[in-house]
Each structure stands twice: as C-alpha cells, then as structure tokens.
Chains A and B, each alone.
Chain A
Amino acid sequence: MNLSLDWPGHRILALGARLYLGGLFVWASLHKIASPSTFALDVATYQFLPLIAVNLFALLVPWLEALAGALLLVGIRVRAAALVVASLMLAFMVALAWALHLGLDMSCGCFASESATTEHPISWLTLLRDTGWLALAIYVMIFDVRPLGLVSLIQRKRRTS
C-alpha cells in the first residue's frame, strides 16, 4: 500500500473503511440509545468506572457513537469522527482488557442487550477484533485527507454548474 498522503487510492480504501466503521457504530449505538439503563448495567459490569460516572457515560457514549458513525457514513468531518471512533475504541479496549484481567465472565455489551445471559462472552479475540477496528479508524484519520462523500459530491456539483 502506498503510504503517501497524496495517493488517490486512499480515498477509495478509506471510503470502504468509513462505510464499515460508520455502519457498525450507528448500529451499535441504536440499542444503547433505546435502552440506556441496560447499557448502564453493561458499563457497571465492567467494574471499571466509578459509580458516579456510569450513568453519564451510558448517556453520552451512544450518541457519540451515533454521531461519529453518521459523519463517517456521509463523509463530513470524517477525520474528527475517526479520531472520536479511535478514542472510543481505545477506551473500550482498556475496559475490555481490565475485565479479562479480572476474569469476568460476561459479554461485551457492544451490540445487544447481552448483560446477563452470555452467549458471546468476552475473550482476547474480542480485543483482537477491536484492535482491527482501531486500526481502521486510525487509517481513516491519517489518510482520508480528501474524503469521498456528501461534501465532495456537493463541491463537485458546484464546480460543474
């Protein structure tokens, strides 16, 4: 892969990464926005945040996921959105590593209300999966300098008209 920022292929690759990450984050945010109390329980189960911060985290993070995901999808402020996604992934990974270190037998609570009945328990594979998503977010943040999307489409239309 060409590591030069000017390489035009980055726009295409980053578009794929953005659509994947954006869709993933919007989807992941939906059940958390719909049921913040369940997500708060998921957050508390990690035993990572102090009680005082659990609900605030549960109220804020899903919207941050949704907003960042939507921006990645439509191609507006993508690098800032990718920075947010990367930061969230880092935070999730630290919490996940902490839970694995404690030996907690639980699900990650990433995509559905899975707090108690654990059909998909967390594992080091979950951490590996998150590392992949973090890498994608960093790639978009660094290389998607002129993103394809709504803004570029509008700009192109303006130029042609």
Chain B
Amino acid sequence: MNRTEPRKVAGSDAHPFIKLIKEAALLLLVSAGLGLGFNAIRRDSLPLVAKSDYRIVVPCPERLGDASALKAGDSRLTEKGTLIIDARDQEEFSKWHLDRAVNVPFDWLGPPLDAEIAEVARRATEQRAQRVVVYGDGDDPDTGRQWARLLVGAGLRNVYYVEGGAPALHGPRQGGNP
C-alpha cells in the first residue's frame, strides 16, 4: 500500500504553549499597530511620551450624611444626654460658648480628620450621650451643619445641628458663659 506522509506545516510541530505565546505576541503586535495607527490619525492624538507629569487628583471625598436640624430653643440642647460640639474656631469659642460645649473647630480648608471624628464618637460613648448636637458659625454654608453631616456620614446616629448656629443660640444664652 502506498502510504503518504502528511505534509508538515512550518511551525506546526512547536510545543502547544510556545504556539500559544506566539499567537498572543502576534495579538500584542496587532494591537500596538492599531493603537498607534488610530492615535496617529485622530485629531486629539496623545503624544507617545507624556511631556510633563500628569496632574493626578486623588480626592479624599468625605462621606456626608443627612443630619437633622434643631431649633435654637429646643429643650434637647440642655438635656444631660446631649453631647454638644462647638464647631467654631477657638477664638470665637473663648468669647462665648454654650454650657458643656466641647470645641472641635471645623475648617473648610482642612476638614476634620478621621481621628477627630473618632474623638467625637469616643466622647459620645464616654458620656453615654443619646445624641450629638453641633452648632457652628451659622453662616451659609454653616460649619455646624457640615460637621454634623460628616459625623452622620461616619456612621454616628442621632446627630443634629442647630439651625442658625451660634448667633441663633447666643440671643437667649441658654446657660452660656459670657
């Protein structure tokens, strides 16, 4: 019987994994060609090498929650189970503050660190507080409200802010220090 040897195709006797690598490399080459070719013809083509450093913006977004508002005359402000936070700066705080208020200033340019939020949470636990009430400068936007929203965002419950902030409280001076 006349036997014929099957014709060998060039490269067909290569190890299957080598063949796989070769095919993947070919894919890489085609992709490089497509990528560079497409970039060359597009209007807003990207330089192959960046000329200057990228302005990497890695924001650290604070998680904000929804804090409830409290009127300045609300009786909960004077209750024992309330931890009061004064979000104004130290100077304002030293001029006047609500009795039992703790000064934790809020700065728009350098919002509170996690450690400061943790400190508020620690105080609340220590005092067995049922709620946290924050008052700020009463401006628009209000530092007290922002602090309260950050605390809610960090997972604290029963956090309130005083509507109108310190100016709203300062009128009646509920047990405040001069």
Q: Which residues of A contact B (CB under 8 A)?
A: 33, 36-37, 40-41, 44-45, 47, 51-52, 54-56, 58-64, 66-68, 71, 77, 79-81, 83-84, 87, 104-106, 115-118, 141
Contact = CB atoms under 8 A, between A and B. Distances in A.
Contacts of A55: 46-50
Contact of A105 (B34, B49, B54, B61): B61
Nearest to A41: B54
B54 A40 contact: yes
Nearest to B34: A63
9 contacts: A36-B46, A40-B46, A44-B54, A55-B49, A59-B35, A67-B34, A80-B26, A116-B59, A141-B20
Contacts of B53: 44, 51
A146 to B, nearest CB: 13
Contact of A54 (B24, B50, B58): B50
B46 A37 contact: yes
A36 B39 contact: yes
Given A36-B39, A63-B35, A105-B61, A56 B49 contact: yes
Contacts of B20: 79-80, 83, 141
A131 to B, nearest CB: 21
Contact of B38 (A52, A63, A67, A105): A63
Contacts of B59: 105, 116-118
Nearest to A58: B46
Contacts of A44: 50, 53-54, 56
B31 interface: yes
Interface in B22-40: 23-24, 26-28, 30-32, 34-36, 38-39
Given A45-B56, A51-B49, A60-B32, 6 more contacts: A44-B54, A47-B56, A51-B50, A67-B30, A83-B23, A116-B57
B1 interface: no
* Interface size grouping (class) on chain B: 20 to 34
B31 A56 contact: no
B60 interface: yes
Indicate the member of A59, A66, A84, A116 with the most B CB atoms within 10 Å. A59
Question: Dominant SS at the A interface?
Answer: helix
B56 A105 contact: no
B118 interface: no
Given A55-B48, A56-B48, A83 B21 contact: yes
B44 interface: yes
Interface string B66-105: 0000000000000000000000000000000000000000
B27 A52 contact: no
Nearest to A79: B20
B39 A59 contact: yes
Contacts of B47: 55
Contacts of A36: 39, 46
A87 B46 CA distance: 25
Contacts of B32: 60, 63
B54 A59 contact: no
A103 to B, nearest CB: 10
